[in-house]
Structure 1
Amino acid sequence: MGVSGVGKSTIGNLLSKELSIPFFDGDDYHPKENILKMSKGEPLNDTDRLGWLQTLNKLAIQQLKDKGCIIVCSALKESYRTILSATIKNSTKWVFLTGSFELIEKRINERKGHFMSSDLLKSQFSTLEEPKNAIKVAISLTPNTIVKVIRKELENTAEFGLFGLGVMGKSLSRNLASKGFNISLFNRHLSGKEEDVAVNFKNEFKELATALPFDDIASFVNSLQKPRKIMLMVNAGKIVDHVIEYLLPFLDEGDILIDGGNSNYNKTKERFDYLTSKHIHFIGAGVSGGEEGALKGPSIMPGGHKEAYKKVQPFLEAIAAKDANNMPCCTHIGTEGSGHFVKMVHNGIEYVEMQLLAEVFLMLTAMGNNPDQIATILEGYKDTANSYLLEITIDILRKKEGDDWLVNKIMDKAGNKGTGNWTTIATAELGVPSTMIASALFARYISFFKDERIAASKHFSTTTDANLDLSVAAILEAYQFARIINHYQGFRLIDEASARYNWGLNLSELARIWTNGCIIRSDFMSGLVKTFKTTNNILTDKDIISTINTLKPSIKKVVAACILNEIPIPNFSESINFLNGFAVANSSANLIQAQRDYFGAHTYQRIDNNTNKFYHTDWKNH
């Protein structure tokens, strides 16, 4: 494409021979009335062109049934190109020949026997709307050079694009490249701050030898095969929306954007709906495993339209971790924000698992053990309660710096990036008592009030007993008990969201993709794959019921001893408090409902009436 006189026919002919596909000159398909009008020096209007453009579109569709073709056509407006590529947009590649007015005018004047005169060139330049997604070549080059440039650009396309080269983006890029995929890499250009990031990254690792690096958005998008598949590895929040708006002008219908960050599932649903209205697919994919997991194999939780997932499935499943049966720890979760929701709850479960280990550490320290001794004790836990987090905790406790353990030098302020907060909000909104997640989150909040804690410690002296009367075995059993309750609460929250939002989530399949690659992988999680094949409520499974009853004496003993010795164990405590409040046929909530009716006339139901009738009482008259 390009204005008249740029050499479209010459280049098209040469390119057709180079690629061994048919060539067609769009000018040959003008109706007689169009040719007559242009011969008189009258420019064509949109009405004149419509039938001609539709004819060329039909020609292209017909040729695609074989091996395609090359068609040359001025195609000056975006609307013209839309007509020309109707129904075949993903099979169309535009080549835009461009040059100066003076050069093109000279060429037209040297051309003989053509109905188009140089008098119409100005109108063509004024009509021209440059395409955003095209191979752009200057006609100042020789024809053979132009053909070589075009061929190289046509062949130099990537299957998958990574937008954002932070820690996770870089690791996923290397993972994809190591699996043999042709990828394009994009990182923004900020003078003096972020320059040549993609180029330098490509040159750093041999597996990226064929990767295409960019800091220009148009070139990055144009380097990708259609439908384009672009994974956004940017920080969650408004930056995701900014990137989407940045990319949109360069995208075509059917292209796929994947948000691989820790985005809020509500925002993912909004983006999903927004991009659906633009005919762009959006997949919110939770990615767990950290930097190492992203490089060697993470657990991936993609949510979006099933047909869109199928197009990115080969890429995501290839880079995912593998379960015990060598199946990828990646599966289509559901639609809308489901992928980011389950990743959010995954992180909530993770908060609890980390807090429980911190509480075990605190108890074993109070019993007089140093970090090395605690690590050895935890090694013994691996036989019955092994997990990734247990393994890394052992490594952490054994790390020394000088004569002291490094953990002793770390400030006791635990940060968070929002997912625990979102999970706590979600559990409140959905009315599910995932109390341990909230308790773990608040434990982190408490830790951050360091100065106030120091001040309080001077007024409210604690008397932790270095001879805490607990056995290592009892703490292990209490730990196992608390972990069961944590997993019940987390999966119960997911199940409620699935029902509320009509996601149809498969808890067994979800547990399966969490058996490797992710932070909460564990032997217990592997067992849940089978458990969830028969129930969505693990507290109804006979084996788990038996285990809980066996472990219950230990959790009661551990919690009681810690409270008496003023050792804070909020998650251990919450696990037994939850079960005590949950596994009771008649609770104290009858008094609360009476109080609500007293001051707010909120009414109540009666246990001696099963008709669902509601009552109100004037409580002041005894």
Structure 2
Amino acid sequence: MTQANIGLIGLGTMGSALAQNIAEKGFPLAVTTLHPERVDSFLKDAGPLADNLIGAKSPQEMVDALATPRSLILLVPAGKAVDAIVEIYAPLLSPGDTIIDAGNANFHNTRKRADELAEMGLHFVGMGVSGGEEGARHGPSIMVGGAKESYAPIRPVIEAIAAKFEGDHCADWLGPDGAGHFVKTVHNGIEYADMQLISEVYGLLRDGEDIKPQEIGALFATWNAGGLSSYLMEISAEILQTTDPETNMPMVDIIKDKAGQKGTGRWTVIEALSLGQSASAIEAAVGARGWSADREARATGETLFPATALQAEYDRDDLEAALLAARIIAYAQGFQVLTAASEEYDWGVDMARVAEIWRAGCIIRSALLDDISDAFRSDLPDGRLLFAPAFHGALSKGIEAMRRVIATAVSQGLPVPAFSASLAWFDSMRQARGTTNMVQAQRDFFGAHGFERLDQPGAHHGPWGS
């Protein structure tokens, strides 16, 4: 083997897994890393897969190992590492070659890099890869953005390594420049909301009823067999039923309640606000991770403002219905942000296809995605996923259950930020006459910003003077 179909830079957890996936599917692959000494050990550990791998110790060796037009996947930390590699490799490549950033990059950076490399005749592809290490190794969900012609040479590889759902590839080209990375960003935002909602239900049962993790896990496993079927529900059930081998305690009970984040959830919220959209469930989840980091302050707060000792029971059917409704709302908000961005940047993203790509391989894969895909292929009332007929029953039942769940949580002093934000957004979206007429009057009073009247066209001012 003298030349490879494609190259990959970065042999960390995700890079190594994806490289093995590509090699296993029979595509010759050239590999290198920022630390060349890692190449030999990777090839040794690859076993029989090494027959489809070429190790490169320098940028020039990597470029020489690739058949033209060259395609080069980067799986390195987003930001400066990507810029550094692009700076090294771009002068070595030829017009028509493609650099593919498969990390969790900010789509604004992807758009900028695509424009810069286009001036050199090079393609820059932003490729979202979801599914973690397991997905990268055995079949992730892949969201590609960039010049459409740049997808053709890599399409056979991408489709071969992607997850499959009933024979359909969970990978596709979704639009130009930053479209793929933005879809992955919103995917992660929905992931934040879903994880937070599941955690809030766990918290209500743990703190509101003193239910043990094993029992909560068994309940989650039951729910996973129904309408809440999803990867996150599945692993949450398993987590809660896992015992720490060192202490023999429930594993979840010895994990510090301090959640990390890498930025994609926050980016989703920022872009939603900049596009004039609401992602309140995602914003609540991002906020919850933020204040989880402030454990010392929370400990002080518990001392100064001890929780009430009210006891309560949560109807299990209510919890299940409320969680399903809140999950629908999180998806609806995420897809509305995607729709707004697609219109703003002229991407033409096919929302139904996005839902189909997410049906396998990714973290937010769930039973809802078939209905979401079907909804986007039909006539949605006002173009809103929230109003899809397929979800009317689940929302009508779930919202009333959510009111009871939230009311009980509030009476106990238990925080449910994602549920509360979801309910407030839903109630806003079902109220034709809101209260921002008062906001507009206030703005006009102190700043003469003007307002629209219901009975006359044009801009107007109130009679309150300067």
Residue of 315, 320, 332 corresponding to 1:488: 332
1:310 is matched with which residue?
A: 152
**What SS class does the counterpart of residue 170 from structure 1 fall into?**
helix
Aligned partners of 2:375 and 2:390 also within 8 Å: no
Residue of 419, 424, 449 corresponding to 2:264: 419
In the TM superposition, residue 583 of structure 1 has moved relative to its aligned partner by 1.0
Aligned partners of 2:33 and 2:39 also within 8 Å: yes
- 1:499 to 2:333 alignment: no
Residue of 64, 69, 73 corresponding to 1:231: 73
In the TM superposition, residue 538 of structure 1 has moved relative to its aligned partner by 1.6
In the TM superposition, residue 210 of structure 1 has moved relative to its aligned partner by 3.2
2:233 is matched with which residue?
A: 390
State how far apart, in whole Å, the 2-side matches of 1:542 and 1:375 are: 32
**What SS class does the counterpart of residue 404 from structure 1 fall into?**
coil
1:285 aligned partner, one-letter code: M
* Superposition map of 1:340-489 within 5 A: 340-365=181-206, 366-382=208-224, 383-401=226-244, 402-463=247-308, 465=310, 467-489=311-333
State how far apart, in whole Å, the 1-side matches of 2:119 and 2:248 are: 62
1:221 aligned partner, one-letter code: V
1:443 aligned partner, one-letter code: A
State how far apart, in whole Å, the 2-side matches of 1:378 and 1:617 are: 55
2:394 is matched with which residue?
A: 547
**What SS class does the counterpart of residue 396 from structure 1 fall into?**
helix
In the TM superposition, residue 464 of structure 1 has moved relative to its aligned partner by 5.1
Aligned partners of 1:199 and 1:214 also within 8 Å: no
- 1:572 to 2:415 alignment: no
1:201 aligned partner, one-letter code: F
1:167 is matched with which residue?
A: 13
Corresponding residue pairs, total: 458
TM-score (norm 2): 0.96
**What SS class does the counterpart of residue 185 from structure 1 fall into?**
strand
Q: Percent identity?
A: 37
State how far apart, in whole Å, the 1-side matches of 2:125 and 2:34 are: 22
* Superposition map of 1:41-60 within 5 A: none
Determine which structure has more spread, i.e. the larger CA radius of gyration. 1
* Residue deviations 1:443-495 (CA, integer Å, cap 9, x gap): 00010111111111111111254x42321111111111111111110000000
Higher relative contact order (CA 8 A, sep 6+): 2
State how far apart, in whole Å, the 2-side matches of 1:554 and 1:391 are: 22
Aligned partners of 2:440 and 2:451 also within 8 Å: yes
1:562 is matched with which residue?
A: 409
Aligned partners of 1:172 and 1:294 also within 8 Å: yes
2:137 is matched with which residue?
A: 295
- 1:181 to 2:32 alignment: no
2:452 aligned partner, one-letter code: Q
**What SS class does the counterpart of residue 451 from structure 2 fall into?**
coil
* Residue deviations 1:491-524 (CA, integer Å, cap 9, x gap): 0000011111111111100000000000000001
**What SS class does the counterpart of residue 370 from structure 2 fall into?**
helix
Report the RMSD for the aligned CA atoms in angstroms.
1.2
Aligned partners of 2:444 and 2:461 also within 8 Å: yes
1:77 is matched with which residue?
A: none
TM-score (norm 1): 0.72
1:529 is matched with which residue?
A: 373
2:44 is matched with which residue?
A: 203
State how far apart, in whole Å, the 2-side matches of 1:296 and 1:526 are: 22
State how far apart, in whole Å, the 2-side matches of 1:349 and 1:210 are: 37
In the TM superposition, residue 364 of structure 1 has moved relative to its aligned partner by 1.2
Aligned partners of 1:347 and 1:419 also within 8 Å: yes
- 1:615 to 2:457 alignment: no
2:228 aligned partner, one-letter code: A
Runs of 4+ in 1 over 2 A off after TM superposition: none
2:363 is matched with which residue?
A: 519
In the TM superposition, residue 289 of structure 1 has moved relative to its aligned partner by 0.2
Unpaired runs of 5+ residues, structure 2, are none
State how far apart, in whole Å, the 1-side matches of 2:158 and 2:70 are: 15
State how far apart, in whole Å, the 1-side matches of 2:316 and 2:53 are: 53
* Residue deviations 1:287-342 (CA, integer Å, cap 9, x gap): 00000000000000010111111111011111000012x11100111001000001
2:88 is matched with which residue?
A: 246
1:393 aligned partner, one-letter code: S
State how far apart, in whole Å, the 1-side matches of 2:62 and 2:389 are: 55
* Residue deviations 1:531-584 (CA, integer Å, cap 9, x gap): 111134222222312321122210110011101110100011111111112210
Aligned partners of 1:256 and 1:280 also within 8 Å: yes
**What SS class does the counterpart of residue 170 from structure 2 fall into?**
coil
